[in-house]
Amino acid sequence: MKVVTLNLPGLVTYQQDVTDQVKVRELLGEQGITQVDLIQSDMAPNTTGIKDLDAMRSMGLIQDTLWMYKEILKPEGKFVIKVFM
């Protein structure tokens, strides 16, 4: 994972491996966060150059984030994610 640094008023950024649901919940719990307004993902698989394989890996990463969409995102929240096709 690459560290992201953004200096915007009111923005708090957390970085964690989304496949480790226990750690994500722990991180949010430590901060008293139960729901968020935005989940933004810039995840990308390690590409192989094989288009179909890279697309499948990208879709796998998206599936790994769906639990957050269902559990953590506020009802009117936004979920932004990129997809390699």
Active-site positions read 82
The CA distance from 68 to 56, in Å, is 20
Q: Is 74 helix (H, G, I), strand (E, B) or coil?
A: strand
The CA distance from 85 to 82, in Å, is 10
Residue 73 dihedral angles phi and psi, to the nearest 5°: -75, 135
Contact 51, 45 (CB under 8 A): no
